[in-house]
């Protein structure tokens, strides 16, 4: 049974909190560590960390500040690459199953169809490079690891696009959101459930997990506002209207065929979003 001794790293984040809730609902025991108790930027601390008492390590911790990564790449790389490699090697040495998460941003974003799990890395920003480096550290390990790429993660709590748009729609009559970047939204709670399904199905190596369907950020925002019932009007714009320190891929849709072959269809993003909007935590 892979869940008899489970450790969640990054338990304070959207995904870590979702995993904790899921394991609790299933009556499965676990321990949880947030970044205050194990700082993944501290490589020496990661090397000293003992994983031998666990059967499954869920690494839900990551540097996710995409724009900040452009000027703090060493710190970002320490969390998203060095720590991932160290933890994976320690788990391999101790016979612990290792599950970690990566991103659609490892791909360039110039494709015309969804990126398969075997797609070539070509990130357009520092955050993507750090995640690609973390993936590279896993490839050489002959051990029991699973790296799940995902995208556009949100939850009823925490800092995320859904809560930002819902809050803005309550106070502003008009919103402008980019319509030239396409991807797949992902409910963090749904991501935890899909991850559980993949683990139980014996998935190994790289996998993709998101909600079903695809959209632009504009489509996503418009549906958020509709579900909240706010009177705000959402207008499309180009990425040039909102220049950011980090370039974003224009098309980062992840192929879900292998995941759906293993565990069945993903929940449509509209349905997953409606469930979350009903339960949005207050600001």
Structural domain total, the chain: 1
DSSP state of 189: H
What residues contact 12, with CB distance under 8 A and at least 6 apart? 34, 35, 36
Any domain includes 50: yes
Give residue 283's pLDDT. Answer: 65
What residues contact 218, with CB distance under 8 A and at least 6 apart? 177, 178, 179, 234, 236, 237
The string of DSSP letters for 13-47 reads: SHHHHHHHHHHHHTT--EEEE-TTTS-TT-HHHHH
Q: How far is Cα 241 from Cα 263, in angstroms, rounded to an integer?
A: 40
Give residue 140's pLDDT. Answer: 84
Any domain includes 107: yes
List the one residue out of 221, 135, 229 whose CA is nearest residue 176: 221
Judge whether 115 counts as a catalytic residue. Answer: no
Tell me the CATH number at 63.
3.40.50.720
Any domain includes 283: no
Give residue 170's pLDDT. Answer: 95
The string of DSSP letters for 129-187 reads: HHHHHHHHHHHT--SSEEEEEE-SEE-SSSS-HHHHHHHHHHH-SEEEEE-S-EE--EE
Token readout for 277 is 């909007």
Across the chain, which has 283 residues, the per-10-residue mean pLDDT values are 87 96 96 89 96 96 97 98 97 96 98 96 98 95 93 97 97 97 98 98 97 98 98 97 96 98 98 97 73
CA 146 to chain centre: 14
The angle, 0 to 180 degrees and rounded to 10, between the axes of the packed helices 83-94 and 126-139 is: 20
Token readout for 107 is 């791909």
Q: What is the pTM of this model?
A: 0.97
Any domain includes 59: yes
Q: How far is Cα 108 from Cα 181, in angstroms, rounded to an integer?
A: 12
Give residue 1's pLDDT. Answer: 54
Q: Which of 54, 105, 115, 127 is an active site residue?
A: 127
Token look-up 């590279």 returns: 136
Give residue 44's pLDDT. Answer: 96
Q: How far is Cα 19 from Cα 15, in angstroms, rounded to an integer?
A: 6
CB of 199 closer than 8 Å to CB of 255: no
Any domain includes 84: yes
Any domain includes 169: no
CA 46 to chain centre: 21
Any domain includes 18: yes
CA 136 to chain centre: 18
Q: How far is Cα 263 from Cα 257, in angstroms, rounded to an integer?
A: 10
For 10, the domain range is 6-158+186-212+252-266
Any domain includes 242: no
List the one residue out of 82, 84, 116, 120 whose CA is nearest residue 102: 84
């Amino acid at each position: 049974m892979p869940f008899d001794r489970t450790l969640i790293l990054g338990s304070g984040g959207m995904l870590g909190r979702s995993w904790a809730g899921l394991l609790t609902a299933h009556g499965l025991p676990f321990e949880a560590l947030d970044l205050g108790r194990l700082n993944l930027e501290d490589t020496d601390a990661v090397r000293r960390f003992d994983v031998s008492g666990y059967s499954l390590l869920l690494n839900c911790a990551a540097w996710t500040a995409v724009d900040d990564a452009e000027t703090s790449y060493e710190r970002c790389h320490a969390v998203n690459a060095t720590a991932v490699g160290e933890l994976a090697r320690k788990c391999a040495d101790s016979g612990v199953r290792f599950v970690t998460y990566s991103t659609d941003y490892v791909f360039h974003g110039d494709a015309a169809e969804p990126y398969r799990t075997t797609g070539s890395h070509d990130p357009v920003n520092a955050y993507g490079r750090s995640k690609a480096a973390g993936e590279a550290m896993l490839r050489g390990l002959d051990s029991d690891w699973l790296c799940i790429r995902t995208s556009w993660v949100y939850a009823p709590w925490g800092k995320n696009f859904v809560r930002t748009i819902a809050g803005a729609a309550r106070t502003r009559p008009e919103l402008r959101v980019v319509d030239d970047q396409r991807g797949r939204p992902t409910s963090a709670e749904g991501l935890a459930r899909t991850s559980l399904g993949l683990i139980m199905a014996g998935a190994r190596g790289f996998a993709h997990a998101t909600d079903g369907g695809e959209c632009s950020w504009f489509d996503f925002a418009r549906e958020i506002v509709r579900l909240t019932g706010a009177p705000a009007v959402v207008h499309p714009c180009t990425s040039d209207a909102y220049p950011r320190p980090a370039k974003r891929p224009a098309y980062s849709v992840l192929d879900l065929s292998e995941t759906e072959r293993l565990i069945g269809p993903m929940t449509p993003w509209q349905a997953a979003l409606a469930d979350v909007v009903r339960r949005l935590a207050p600001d």
